[in-house]
Amino acid sequence: MTATLIFYLLGAVALVTTALAIIQRNPVYAVIYLVKSIFALALIFYLLGAPLVAALQVIVYAGAIMVLFLFVIMMLEITPVSARKSSAPGWLSWTPVVLVALVLAVMTLLLIGLDPVAEQGIPRWHATPRDFGYALFNEYALAVKIISFQLSFAAVGAFHIGLTERRRARMEKDS
């Protein structure tokens, strides 16, 4: 009963902080609100029986990815003047949002109506990090290798994008 109450509380916190994140003018505040939303989601993951994924959500998302966002925002020195220069979104840009929201709402209602297991409750269960690691490095060993390849490709790609720009700037200075 307490877990149910905490789930709804955390869900409300996640929704409110996400809504606050997307209406901010300043990207720094948006990132801070998104970190709060990620913390609420991590606690929901813990309630749903994924303690290791909850810890990784805090460490990887809030600790690494969001700090990367903050790092780039601070590095770019986006002044309030350049933020004000961007035109306000017109009413026309909201129409696809409304359409997609309608489609997703209908899809979710259909999923709930058609799926017999959707109405049954999520049982109280939790996966130990031991179960998680065993499945990860046995059944999903190939996926782990592919993902590690992809991470190194991303590192090389990010380095390449940064390096070409720097090299071009140096050539312009020389000429």
Partner 1 sequence: MIVPMEHLLVLATLLFVLGFSCVLVRRNLILILIGVEIMINAVGLVFIGAAALWQQVDGQIMVLLLMAITAAEVAIALALVVHLHQRKQSIDVGLFDEMRG
Site for partner 1 in 109-128 (CB under 8 A): 111-112, 117-125, 127
Burial grade of 34 (CB within 10 A; 0-12, 13-18, 19 or more): buried
Place of tokens 């939303």: 37
Least Å from the CB of residue 171 to partner 1: 14
Applying the rule CB under 8 A, the residues between 11 and 30 that interact with partner 1 are 11, 14-15, 18-19, 21-22, 24, 27, 30
Distance CA 55, CA 68 (A): 18
The reply to whether 44 sits near partner 1 by the rule CB under 8 A is yes
User: Which residues ranging from 51 to 80 are in contact with partner 1 (CB under 8 A)?
Assistant: 52-53, 56-57, 60-61, 64-65, 68-69, 72-73, 75-76, 78
Amino acid of residue 20 = L
DSSP secondary-structure letter at 77? T
The Cα 52–Cα 93 span in angstroms is: 39
Residues 127-166 that bind partner 1 (CB under 8 A): 127, 131-132, 135-136, 139-140, 143, 147, 150-151, 153-155, 157-158, 161-162, 165
- Which residue shows structure tokens 């065993």? 134
